[in-house]
Structure 1
C-alpha cells in the first residue's frame, strides 16, 4: 500500500523526461484545502490523453510503458514504481483516494477525455465507472493493454463503455503515440461510433469481410445498428459493388437479420433466392426469354412491353463466391435457363443476351453495381467476362418489345438509361 510519508518526501516529478501539463496535482494530496481547477479548463476543448494508473514514461530492461505527454490518474500516495525515476512523484498526476475508490469528479469534467489508456493495472468497478464518466462518447476511445478478453477487468470496463456507446474494435491500428509500448504484446480498443463507422467502411472497401461481419454483429448486439445503416447508405451512394460481398458474408454467417434490418429489400430477395422481375428504368420493360429457341436451343432475351407478372418474367439470382468477391448467375424460372452474352458482336461491338441451359463459363456471371438516384435504388448489371452492361435496343418489334444487349462501352455515366429495377415478382 502506498505510504503518505514516502510520497510526501519523494522528489518532484521529472519534467525533463515528461511534459509538464497544465493544472497537474502531482504534489498536492487529495482535495484538502486546495481550490481545485477542473480539466479541461475550456468547455470547448477536450483532455487529449489520460493514462489510468499511469506513472509517466518508464523504460526498463523488460520493456517500455507509460507516456511523456498525458495526465496520469493514480493513488494519491503512489510514487513512480521503477525505472530511472523510481520513488519520485508521478508527473501530471490526478489523485484518487484509493485503488478501489476512483472518483476524479473534483478534477476532471464529465465526458471530457478523448483517449484513455490502461496498462495491465486492475480495472475494478469503481475504476471502470470513472473511465465511463470521463470518456467522451462522441470522439473518445479507450485502449487497454495486457488484458484477457474474458477477464473480470474487461467485463467491468465493457459494462460501463456500453453505456457510452463505445464498441470493441478488434483490428484497430494503434496511433503512433501508442506504438512504442514494448512491455505488452496485446491490446483491446473501444471506439466511438464515428470511428467504428470509419473502421467498418474501411474493412468493406479493403475486402476484409470477416472483420466487417464481426464489427457488424457487435454493433447490432449493442443496439448501435444505426452505424451499419449509415455505412450501407454510404456504400450505396458511392456505388461500391463490395457491398454485395459484405452482404453475402453476413448472410452466410448466420447474420441474415442484419440484411433484413439494415439493407434495402433487394438484398434479402436476392440472397434468399426469391423470385424477382428485372425491369429497365428508362423503358419500363421486364426481361423475358423468347418462346422459341435457335439452332443451339438458346433463347433470345427481350424486354417485354406488356408483361410484368407472368411466369415468363420470373428470375432468380444465384450468388457465386470466388476470389473474395461475389458475382451472380441469373436464371429464368420458366425455362430454367441462365442469362449470358453472345460470344459474337454486332458491327458496333454490342452482344445479344441469351438464355442457355449451361452456365459453366464466365460470360454467365454478372456484377451488380448499386446506384441511388433521388433515393431510388437501381442496378447496373454488368457481364463479368465482357464488362458490358445490359441495355435494351433503341428499336421495337411489332409487339413493342426490345432485344436485350450487352453495351460496348461504359454504362456508369447514364444509369437512367442503363439502370434496372430488381423487384419482388408479383402475380398481379
Structure 2
C-alpha cells in the first residue's frame, strides 16, 4: 500500500523573497501534526517530473490526451507525495508543508498535481522587502532576484520593487481564483500580533491549537536547509524589521512603480507609500559598541563558561574552529572541541581547523553584548566563513546563539 494518499492535503507557503517565509515555516513546523522542512523546490521538481513522465512512458499509453495528462499527474503526485509523506512520517507527523519562494512560478503545476493542497499566501510591505533584499544582497544577489537586477542595474531599489510586484501579483491572482484553498497572511500581523494570527493559521489548516506552540517555536528542533539564517538564532518573534523600508528614500522608486505599488497595497489592505513614509521611523537606535572589550579576557574566562553551559544543548558538537577578530584591536583564537574537554588557544596565525570564522572587531563586540544577532552580522557582510559552514554555524550558536 503506498504511503501517499491522493486525498491528503499538503500545504504550500507562497511568498516573494525576504517576506518572512522561513519564520512562517518554522512556526508551521512547530505544530505536532505538520512537518515543514527548508525549501525543497517542489514546484520545479513537479514540472520536471511531469515532462520526464509525459514524454517517456506517457507516450506509450493508448488513451485520450486528457486521460494521458491525468495519469501523468497522478504519477507525479504519487512520487512527490510518497517522498514527502515518508518525511512527515519519519518525524511522527501526518501532514507536510513546503515553502520555496520559487514555487510562485509553478502554481499551475502544483495545483494540478495536488488538487487538495492548501496555501498560506504571505505578503509583506514592499519597502520592507526592498530594504531586506538590498541588505541581504551585500555580497551578491540570490538567483531569484538576479534577473530583476540585470534588467535595472542602475536602480537596485526599483529592481527589488519590480520583483515584489511581479511575484505578489502572481500570488494574489492565484488566491483570487482559489479563495477556499488560500489564507492571506500579513507579515506585519504575524510579527506584531502572533497571538491572534498564528491560531487563525492553524484553524485554516484544520489542526488543533495549543497556546504552548507559541512558547516552543524557537526551542523546537527544525531541520536545517536554505532559508533565512537569522531564524536559527532567534529567541522570539521579532518586531524590529517592520518599518525598516523607510531607510530607502521614496524617490528611489520611480513614479510609475509607486503607482503600481499603491494599487497592490490597496488590494492587500496595506498603507499607501505616502502613509507608510509619514509614520514615525521604526528602526532601533544604534547600539553603542563596546570598543573597550578585552578579547583576551573573553576567551580566557567567559568563553569556557559559555561552552561548558551550552555545549550539551548544541548536541554532539565535535571539531576545531579558528576565530579571527579583524582590526587593530583584534586577534586570533582556536576553539578545539575535538575531544571531550574544550581547549581554547590564542594563535598568532591560522592553524589547521575544520572551519574559520573571520569577523570585524566591532561586530564581535556587539555579539558579546547581545545587541545584535549572528544572523544580522552575517547578512551585513561583517563576518565570513571558510571551511565547513555547518560547523561554523554550530560554533556560532554555541557562543552567541
Q: What range describes the TM-score normalised by the shorter chain of this pair?
A: under 0.3
Q: Bigger radius of gyration, 1 or 2?
A: 1
Structure with the greater relative contact order (CA < 8 A, sep ≥ 6): 1 or 2? 2
Say which structure is richer in strand: 1
- TM-score w.r.t. length of structure 1: 0.21
